[in-house]
Amino acid sequence: MRAVSPSPAGPGYPSLILASQSPRRRELLSGLGWAFSIDAVDVEEEQPTRFESRQAILDWVAGMAAAKAAAVAGKYPPEGWVIGADTIVVLGCEVLHKPADEADAVAMLSRLQGRSHTVMTGVALRQGGHGRRLERVVQTEVTFYPATEAELAAYVAAGESLDKAGAYAAQGRGALIIEKIEGCYFNVVGLPLATLARMLREVGHEFGPPGSENLA
């Protein structure tokens, strides 16, 4: 993997650009061995919690991913492809964002314990120069074990809840409260890798096998 800091696009500059400051997405993409750069700007995000339908939620999270990709796509030539992503936790027609504090985190987890919820990640590709675009939304069902408030409070006190949608990290200690995951695990972490690879092929961006830095 060769990840570099933002700089003007030019010869030899990676043709994949991750428009995200998430260390988890960076780690996932790094694990594929692809060359990429990181260039993210703050996109003002509305934080609606209740929607009229699940379709409205799907449309919203796809739009957020697209906005993140579009925010930096104009800086790059057409050979570049910008990846935007947004991950949310959904219970019914309600979105659980990042908790405001530890008490809010415990309250969120209390609602999720002993039942299933959906993790949705919007993934967007935007060609440099604001060219072609493609969006997908991947859904994964996650079921928690029943847990007491004391157990959930102890988990929150461990310190990995406050910067996570839904107040848990499946790749961390949150794994101990998850009974099962139906669908893509990497989607729960923040970037559905197989879907991303298929999207890149769909737009004609070919890449070498895992471990290769040959991004044509």
DSSP string spanning 146-183? Answer: P--HHHHHHHHHTT-STTSGGG--TTTGGGGGEEEEES
Give the three-class secondary structure for 73: helix
Provide Rg for the chain, Cα atoms. 18
- The answer to whether domain 2-202 has CATH 3.40.50.150 is no
Q: Which stretches does DSSP call E strand in 92-167? A: 94-96, 116-127, 133-144
Q: Identify which of 90, 160, 95, 84 has the alpha carbon closest to the alpha carbon of residue 119.
A: 90
Residue 34 has pLDDT above 60, yes or no: yes
Residue whose structure tokens are 């004609």 = 204
> For 104-158, what is each residue's pLDDT tens digit?
999 999 999 999 999 999 999 999 998 899 999 999 999 999 999 999 999 999 9
Give the catalytic positions in this structure: 86
> For 147-185, what is each residue's pLDDT tens digit?
999 999 999 999 999 999 999 999 999 999 999 999 999
Q: Where are the domains of the chain?
A: 2-202
Residue 1 has pLDDT above 60, yes or no: no
